[in-house]
């Protein structure tokens, strides 16, 4: 018995196999798949144009119960984040995102991974501030893998006060009141949005470029 799945996919990894094939690691809304793309390295392969890195493709995956590896039978590119290829820092950051998602998806399966990675790649392609995209990605990867961050109360258990200044206490993993602290109401609001809002919304916040450095203080671990 066999089955076919048609879905959208982001290529996390490509490995040459045999004379003309490729083994692909795909991230889809349904999870992560390893598939065989037969003849993908041939010049006239009908799959080649749909399996580029840093792109989103419409794919068809064929799974036979007799085969250990599923087969990619169709691939059509929907979006290509080509601007990444002309900017080395953006390309390196995007590559680190692929590796991080590939690694965590081995341990846990979360349908949010696909949208998370797609938003991050799109933000880099649009020219969003690198530190903003990196921080947003770290916050959301932590959230989708079950990490929690205290954005409600300080180290003493008191509700965060908009009139107070704070520093981030890495040992207590909470904000600590400090009259010389650089974290105020605006930064706390930004941290909460980084944790819960779409990247495009966060990128449009006024003065986000000035605030992001005060928020990215090791609040979450980079997986």
Whether 127 shows a pLDDT value over 50: the answer reads yes
Q: What is the pLDDT of residue 223?
A: 44
Distance CA 103, CA 125 (A): 23
Q: What is the pTM of this model?
A: 0.91
Q: Please, what is the angle between helix 130-144 and helix 185-196, to 10°?
A: 60
Whether 222 shows a pLDDT value over 60: the answer reads no
Q: What is the pLDDT of residue 214?
A: 86
pLDDT tens for 61-70 read 999 878 889 9
Tell me whether residue 201 is exposed, middle or buried, using C-beta atoms within 10 angstroms of its C-beta: 0 to 12, 13 to 18, 19 or more.
exposed
Domain 2-82 has CATH 2.40.50.140: yes
Whether 217 shows a pLDDT value over 90: the answer reads no
Task: Place 107 in a pLDDT band, splitting at 50, 70 and 90.
Answer: confident
Best CATH choice for the domain 83-215 from the list 1.20.1440.120, 1.20.1440.230, 3.40.50.300, 3.40.50.2300: 1.20.1440.120
pLDDT tens for 17-30 read 999 999 999 999 99
Q: Where are the domains positioned within the chain?
A: 2-82, 83-215
Distance CA 149, CA 188 (A): 12
Residue 129: both structure tokens together: 């501030």
Cα distances from 135 to residues 120, 197, 212, in angstroms, run 10, 13, 8
Residue 142: both structure tokens together: 């932590």
């Amino acid at each position: 018995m066999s089955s076919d799945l048609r879905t959208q996919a982001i290529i996390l990894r490509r490995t040459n196999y045999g004379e003309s094939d490729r083994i692909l690691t795909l991230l889809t809304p349904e999870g992560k798949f390893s598939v065989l793309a037969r003849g993908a390295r041939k010049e006239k392969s009908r799959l080649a144009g749909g399996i580029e890195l840093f792109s989103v493709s419409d794919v068809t995956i064929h799974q036979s119960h007799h085969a250990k590896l599923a087969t990619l039978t169709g691939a059509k590119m929907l979006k290509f984040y080509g601007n990444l290829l002309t900017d080395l820092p953006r390309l390196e950051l995007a590559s680190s995102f692929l590796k991080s998602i590939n690694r965590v998806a081995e341990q846990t399966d979360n349908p949010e991974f696909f949208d998370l990675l797609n938003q991050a790649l799109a933000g880099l392609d649009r020219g969003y501030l690198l530190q903003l995209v990196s921080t947003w990605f770290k916050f959301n990867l932590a959230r989708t893998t079950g990490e929690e961050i205290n954005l409600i109360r300080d180290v003493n258990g008191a509700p965060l006060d908009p009139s107070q200044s704070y520093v981030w206490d890495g040992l207590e993993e909470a904000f600590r009141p400090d009259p010389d602290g650089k974290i105020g109401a605006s930064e706390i609001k930004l941290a909460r949005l980084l944790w819960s809002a779409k990247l495009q919304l966060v990128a449009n916040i006024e003065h986000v470029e000035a605030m992001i450095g005060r928020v990215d203080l090791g609040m979450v671990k980079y997986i």
